Structure 1
Amino acid sequence: MRLRRHGSTRHIRRRAAALALFALGCRGRTDGGIDGAVAIGVGAIPGSPNYAQVVEGVEMAVARLNEQTGGPRFRVQLPDSSARSAVRVAQLLRDTPSVIAVVGHPESGNTLEAIPIYADAEHDGLDGVVAISPTSSSPRLSGISPWFFRVSPSDADAARVTAQWVLDSLGASRAAIVYRNDSYGRDWARTFGDVFVRGGGAVVMRDPYLTGVVEWDAYASQLATLRPDVLLFPGDGDDALALMQALRARGVSIPFIGGDGTETMKQHAEAAGARYVSFFEEPRASSKEAQYFLPTYRARFRRVPDMFAALSYDAALVVGRTVINGARTRSALRLALERVGNGAPSVDGVAGRIAFEKNHDIKGRTVVITRVPGTVAPANAKASGAQP
């Protein structure tokens, strides 16, 4: 970290600009640029997985916000296409004066890297900008920065709900856990295991894996021997499919539950019958805002929205509604968002009501355990676990 020189040219320019904008109505870093619109930035690496869905969600929220009359106009600020890291994306958006807030990042790892940049920690928050993640779920993000909020539950909340559901609804007493060996997988495995054991269950297998360097047949062989009642898989969708294929090759049928990182497996027929955790499912969305969003999204993009699009819409919408209600600077927006659902009205979102806890986590957001439609018969019938 370089030392801050109080008299540097950069900071003289910054403070002069801030004073000038204050004199023009306390608009801070939201002068709107050439077109006068307030910008909501997309905090995601161009071309990365789920980038398009985040952009689509923000675009739809901005269109929705611009239907209102008499308030500020909004626009989408995309990161430069040359940005190849979360840090660079954050720098570009933070240093764009018209950006009042950022929707992103969708991944916990990139969010952790970008938060100090959005918070302008190097300069004590001089140019800090709010970042609201649609889907970052690491427990380490709870209360990490006054500039960070999120509209999805944490992994700890999701794993806790899933463990209780497995105990109560499946009646399982013996669980196996195969988890991706990173903070996401470890957090899920630890919390699920703790809750499951406290509820009277036993974890008979708890094994990590690394994408690209794993022999799935070895895991399938061990699971065939242990015959657990349920298999929890906090990993990603492609790896989930690979393990299911290895299990079927051995004739092993075990109720399979993927973490929220496995949602993409629903696109594959071979995952039929498996379950996964999600923070949004289109058939279950019934809020007033969902009644607008769902048909409009399908008409515009010719497909059903996933949780990345829906929750990015919610994140941008709560920003816009709060700006419309009077929070016209970055600092004012941060303080106003803290009051959403805590003295100020909550905001109706696609996935439910939006309100924030004191640690800036979403308050009362639903965790959905969804079954992939259809059934897939195993290749043979050597072993089987309990069925849901």
Structure 2
Amino acid sequence: MTFAARAGRQPRRARAALLAAGALVAVAACASLGGGGDALVLGLAVPLTDGKGAPDVYGVRSRMGAELAVEELNAAGAFGGRTLALRVVDDKGSPTTALAAADSLVNDPRVLAVVGHVYSGATIAAAQKYDGSLPAVATSATSPEISKLGGWIFRVASSDSANAVALAGAAHGMGRRVAVLYSNDDYGQGLARNFASALRAAGGAVAAMDPFLEDTPDFRPYLLRMKARGIDLVFVAGLQEPAARAITQAQQVGLAARFLGGDGIEGLAGMGARYDGTAVGVLFHGQMSDSARAFVARYRARYKEDPDSQSALAYDAVRLLAGALRAGHRDPAAIRQWLEGVGAERGSPAFEGVAGRVAFDQNGDPVNKRFTMGVIRGGGIVLPEAAR
């Protein structure tokens, strides 16, 4: 996922989270949850606000998932009389702010490891601070560049180099003339490049490829060219707000093409019926497994709404790191070494998370992590197997 969701219309299913989190955002820069002086402390680096000070739905929901994990672990007495706590820092989805946030966590001797960051650009920027000091488990950061960041960065989301294969496979069966709109940042560039390569390998081709900025207001020049070229499928490598504008304007100019996107456009499912029929690849779905369904029930009981990929991945990242703590590893270097062995032949067992199984390769990427294709319908994302 890319830098940050900008201010603007949020999906209906996210509004409750933003309202409930309003008070939390105000104190998030140095907040802690769940511990006293003997607490085991994890950093939580998420974009709680955007560059204009408005709540960022991706970060808010990531915090909600992380806090639910901490509450459950502490209630179960998972740490032999000690408690788990979060030190929350707001990276604002900005590489510059992420660098400062990472520096503050590295220089806090209480912090043993980090959950975060959420966005690819923030993760890439912060990695230089964590290297050699703190292990960090990114949540929904999917840029292929993260695989090159060294031995202190791990992630629970699959790389877009892998996700693009599933997305290209779906595209190959949906359209004959495919165009790509991509956000001109780490997430969008990487996803678009890997999608185009995977589509060629599947026997297809990209007929047009155009970049956009997150706040691009008017996609109609792109869309009119696509209409003239007979484009019947548009792949969006970006976030939900610009995707929403592009889909709305496509309908206005009479471009009769389907739209497809990755996890960045997941939130379109709660933004109205006009987005029905949009295909989307997601990192988590509440019907993907029994453990996912059980997590949805617990999350709904706690927050009175359903979780999304950000909630689930942050929840998994906390519980993954808790595994190292429960195994007795209480310093950053030992935790990093334990993470390297997750799922390895002579390491610890693979981690079974609510968003799927995690076993790390030599780059800190999860091996064969599940990436699920669905279709937006009726205010939700319907999996193909659910429709049969």
2:85 maps to what in 1?
Answer: 75
Superposed CA offset, 1:277-324 (max 9, x none)? 21111232433xx35422111111111011111000101100001210
TM-superposed deviation, 1:35: 2.2
Which of 347, 351, 354 pairs up with 2:355? 351
CA distance in 2 between counterparts of 1:245 and 1:291 reads 32
TM-superposed deviation, 1:353: 1.6
2:305 maps to what in 1?
Answer: 303
SS in 1 for 2:362: coil
TM-score normalised per structure 2: 0.80
Which of 206, 210, 221 pairs up with 1:207? 210
Residue identity matched to 1:281: H
Unaligned stretches of 5+ residues in structure 1 = 1-31, 120-124, 376-388
CA distance in 2 between counterparts of 1:159 and 1:34 reads 44
For the Cα contact (< 8 Å) 1:256–1:274, is it kept in 2? yes
2:125 maps to what in 1?
Answer: 113
The reply to whether residue 95 of structure 1 matches residue 107 of structure 2 is: yes
TM-superposed deviation, 1:329: 1.2
Superposed CA offset, 1:179-232 (max 9, x none)? 112222222222111221232212211111223345322122112112223211
1:184 maps to what in 2?
Answer: 187
CA distance in 1 between counterparts of 2:214 and 2:137 reads 28
Which of 303, 327, 330 pairs up with 1:328? 330
1:63 maps to what in 2?
Answer: 71
1:262 maps to what in 2?
Answer: 265
The reply to whether residue 227 of structure 1 matches residue 230 of structure 2 is: yes
For the Cα contact (< 8 Å) 2:147–2:364, is it kept in 1? yes
Which of 117, 122, 135 pairs up with 1:130? 135
- RMSD, aligned α-carbons: 2.3
Residue identity matched to 2:161: A
**Residues 53, 199 of structure 1: CA spacing in aligned structure 2 closer, same or farther, 3 A cutoff?**
same
1:36 maps to what in 2?
Answer: 38
CA distance in 2 between counterparts of 1:281 and 1:116 reads 32
Which of 277, 292, 305 pairs up with 1:273? 277
Aligned length: 333
CA distance in 1 between counterparts of 2:378 and 2:84 reads 43
Matches within 5 A, 1:145-160: 145-160=150-165
CA distance in 2 between counterparts of 1:334 and 1:216 reads 44
**Residues 341, 226 of structure 1: CA spacing in aligned structure 2 closer, same or farther, 3 A cutoff?**
same
Q: Percent identity?
A: 31
1:282 maps to what in 2?
Answer: 286
TM-superposed deviation, 1:65: 2.0
**Residues 210, 45 of structure 1: CA spacing in aligned structure 2 closer, same or farther, 3 A cutoff?**
closer
CA distance in 1 between counterparts of 2:305 and 2:240 reads 19
Unaligned stretches of 5+ residues in structure 2 = 1-33, 51-55, 380-388
For the Cα contact (< 8 Å) 1:80–1:92, is it kept in 2? no
TM-superposed deviation, 1:162: 0.9
TM-superposed deviation, 1:143: 3.7
Instruction: Tell me which structure has the larger Cα radius of gyration.
Output: 1
2:167 maps to what in 1?
Answer: 162
2:97 maps to what in 1?
Answer: 85
Residue identity matched to 2:285: E
Superposed CA offset, 1:220-273 (max 9, x none)? 211211222321110221111111111111222212102222122111112111
SS in 2 for 1:282: coil
1:53 maps to what in 2?
Answer: 61
Runs of 4+ deviating beyond 6 Å: 80-84
For the Cα contact (< 8 Å) 1:143–1:360, is it kept in 2? no
TM-score normalised per structure 1: 0.80
For the Cα contact (< 8 Å) 2:180–2:209, is it kept in 1? yes
For the Cα contact (< 8 Å) 1:33–1:98, is it kept in 2? no
CA distance in 2 between counterparts of 1:364 and 1:301 reads 31
For the Cα contact (< 8 Å) 1:42–1:54, is it kept in 2? no
CA distance in 2 between counterparts of 1:85 and 1:311 reads 22
SS in 1 for 2:368: coil
